[in-house]
A and B are shown apart, each in its own frame.
Chain A
């Protein structure tokens, strides 16, 4: 099956979702406010057994986080990107650990870098940043220059001490 057939198959079950095939072998699904575990379980049952990663994009102007799931099918050779938009002020989404156990690490990383809370994940403790006390660093409102001045007394990039 190519990406158009896969898109049709998903649309047949999830009628209100925005499913669009793109490039030669990718499908993009916009899944806001629906049961993400149910959708991903359905996608996995279609033969998409490999989870490439779980990540997040901060759309600060729209006040939204997009949690991204990249999945790949070894049988159909098609890639699906599932984007689930969640509220930026209260970022919560259920974990997909039950489908792919290694998602635990990706979710732990996303929690650390964006502050997204994955409900049901048993261990969301810091993974990379030891003793981090600021806002999650990959958010768009985290300013690296301002932080390095504040935390380390760094000089401005233009030169000279302030």
Chain B
């Protein structure tokens, strides 16, 4: 397919020439291996075509060939910056089919991992957004901050990036000795550093100039095209899976759904800033209200776990939107079918056709970062 590897001139008039331009997969503004192939006149985009599949690892097929417990090691790899919602959604769906309720301590520990993962993902997301505008120091500072949380992940779960912490029936291990106090201290530090993020990023005139009016979407259209999570709440629409379809420990925690008016990239950045603060508060609540007792239900030999025949859909609010797992079991030791609903697909593969034409090449990276488009979760 020679037309995929050459940059081609696709049209010429006496005034201008149209070129086909590859934005990705090896572009500094692209997260993950994915490309938009855009037709440009000057630097204005005329038409966009997606070139996905470079991260397609066949996970859905692979999961049908593994045992129910073996899949736990595959699932976090579907979303690299925010892996825990995958585990939680898979385990919640399995628990629905098994008809079990996990112990309260297990629920709180699961929520703790989810919220910590949300913090790391927000830091990466805000940092990427800054980097896309040339504010690289913001990204380096935020990646440093993210590392502080990864140290705690290593302490809690034994792994930094792919935690494999939730399992059907609860979580893998209990909270270590001394973890609570040090985690609360870290939350104070993170909250203190928010002032630095404000000065570096959110009060920076650069981001107001670059983000205002990029990718504006109204709530009705956002719902229609399936936008979820912070991007939907940034249009002023009140929806949050943690409240609407509660899972883990969220029914026991006090929080409100935060929204921002506007619906453009600036509103989405402000929304993430607000939710970052809310997440810090949620972690404090989780640690302070942590109940005693067991943290998992014993389900017998994990290699012989059978899940009753049937199907279930479970959704989890990730830092990018709704992560959903549709699981079908035929009563065997392996899943019959697992279908993953990633949060980036509606924006990354559909909405790009509506938003990108008319925009400039420089704004593609900002548009992607503001919608938190993460290619691994639609390629799978």
Contact = CB atoms under 8 A, between A and B. Distances in A.
24 contacts: A23-B312, A50-B223, A52-B313, A53-B324, A53-B339, A57-B311, A57-B336, A58-B337, A68-B339, A70-B324, A72-B245, A72-B315, A74-B244, A81-B311, A100-B224, A100-B225, A102-B226, A104-B350, A105-B346, A113-B60, A129-B53, A130-B1, A138-B61, A142-B61
Nearest to A53: B341
A105 B96 contact: no
The secondary-structure label for the interface of chain B is: mixed
A102 B227 CA distance: 10
Contact of A52 (B56, B60, B239, B315): B315
B312 A57 contact: no
Given A50-B223, A101-B224, A127-B52, A138 B315 contact: no
Interface size class, chain A: 35 or more
Contacts of B379: 128
B244 A77 contact: yes
A77 B349 CA distance: 27
B328 interface: yes
Contacts of B250: none
A128 B53 contact: yes
A130 B326 contact: no
A25 B226 CA distance: 20
Task: Give the interface size bracket for B toward A.
Answer: 35 or more
Contacts of B346: 102, 105
A72 B326 CA distance: 13
A102 B341 contact: no
Contact of A144 (B50, B65, B315, B322): B65
Closest 5 pairs (CB-CB, A-B): A128-B53, A55-B339, A53-B341, A102-B350, A128-B56
A142 B350 CA distance: 29
Contact of B53 (A28, A57, A127, A142): A127
Interface centre among B239, B324, B328, B339 (most CB of A within 10 A): B339
A127 B312 CA distance: 27
Nearest to B241: A72
